[in-house]
Amino acid sequence: MNVIIITGASSGMGAEFAFQLDYSVGNIDEIWLIARRREAMLEVAQNMEHTTRVLDMDITNAAHIARFKNVLEKDKPVIRMLVNCAGYGVMGQFAKLDMNEQLGMVDVNCRALTQLTYMCIPYMRKNSRIIQLASSAAFMPQPGFAVYAASKAYVFSFSRALGRELKARKIYVTAVCPGPVNTPFFDTAEKNGKILAVKKLAMAQADKVVEKAISDSFHKREKSVYGGWINAFGIAAKLIPHRLILAFLPNK
């Protein structure tokens, strides 16, 4: 049984991956949707042609992960694609934010992504794909979004190294590094502070970011960056010393 697995499929870019892969990929028996909110995923599934399996789970919960492991061991799917989209960010000064919310970012964005990737690789075959949602926040440190940016730097670094390791097996890994994307992400992210107005200028639509990510994955690219502003930011973050850029950024 050939499957695609998408985490964070109840909302935003995860739901968009589900819709776009549903109509663009052939030879797939089931698309598995993972997130905590079952009802929201059922709504996504209702608008898809493929057979879907809705796995409501908190990917930071050890018992839920064990349940998922059992599903894999029982069904032995061939995982043609894993899209690790689940994640969240909270803006604000590190020392003033709730500690558990910040540790949660590390748990969801880094730990759970790493664990699910590890669990899925044995079920992959030649030409399978892994898409990891990093962020342009991975390109340099971000005061006022410190833990989130660091978590995405982890995802970006991990994905690039993993891509090299899996190349011989012809499994291809793409790190997606969008700037701000218009999704419910900001309902949580802006709880304690607003993003810079200049960042709002670069706000992208989820369908465009996802379309490019899928195309970059099919083209075996290790990185997917949508939009001229974000590409320019990525280049600047490589060429200009970070301490100079940081000197011009507000520290909150």
State the minimum distance, in angstroms, from the CB of residue 209 to ligand NAP.
8
Closest CB to ligand NAP among 2 and 53?
53
| Residues forming beta bridges with residue 224, ordered by sequence position | 176
Considering only 2, 36, 114, 166, the residue that binds ligand NAP (CB under 6 A) is: 36
CA dist., res. 155 & res. 54, Å (int) = 25
CA dist., res. 222 & res. 6, Å (int) = 19
Of 157, 199, 147, which Cα lies nearest the Cα of 178?
A: 199
Q: Which two tokens stand for residue 46?
A: 């209702």
Closest CB to ligand NAP among 3 and 155?
155
Q: Can you tell me whether residue 70 is helix, strand or coil?
A: helix
Considering only 128, 183, 217, 224, the residue that binds ligand NAP (CB under 6 A) is: 183
State the minimum distance, in angstroms, from the CB of residue 45 to ligand NAP.
13
Q: Which stretch in 4-12, 72-80, 92-100, 114-122 sits in contact with ligand NAP by CB under 6 A?
A: 4-12
Q: Which stretch in 2-10, 18-26, 163-171, 213-221 sits in contact with ligand NAP by CB under 6 A?
A: 2-10
CA dist., res. 162 & res. 250, Å (int) = 34
**CA distances, 1 to each of 29, 34, 77, 79, 110 (Å):** 6, 18, 5, 8, 28
Of 133, 129, 88, which Cα lies nearest the Cα of 226?
A: 133
State the minimum distance, in angstroms, from the CB of residue 184 to ligand NAP.
4
Considering only 54, 91, 162, 181, the residue that binds ligand NAP (CB under 6 A) is: 181
Task: Map residues 92-111 to x or -, x wherever contact with ligand NAP holds by CB under 6 A.
Answer: ----------------x---
Q: Which stretch in 54-62, 70-78, 118-126, 164-172 sits in contact with ligand NAP by CB under 6 A?
A: 54-62
Contact criterion met (CB below 8 Å) for 146 and 96? no
Which residues of the shown chain bind ligand NAP in the complex (CB under 6 A)?
7-8, 10-14, 35-37, 40, 58-60, 85-89, 108, 133, 135, 178, 180-181, 183-185
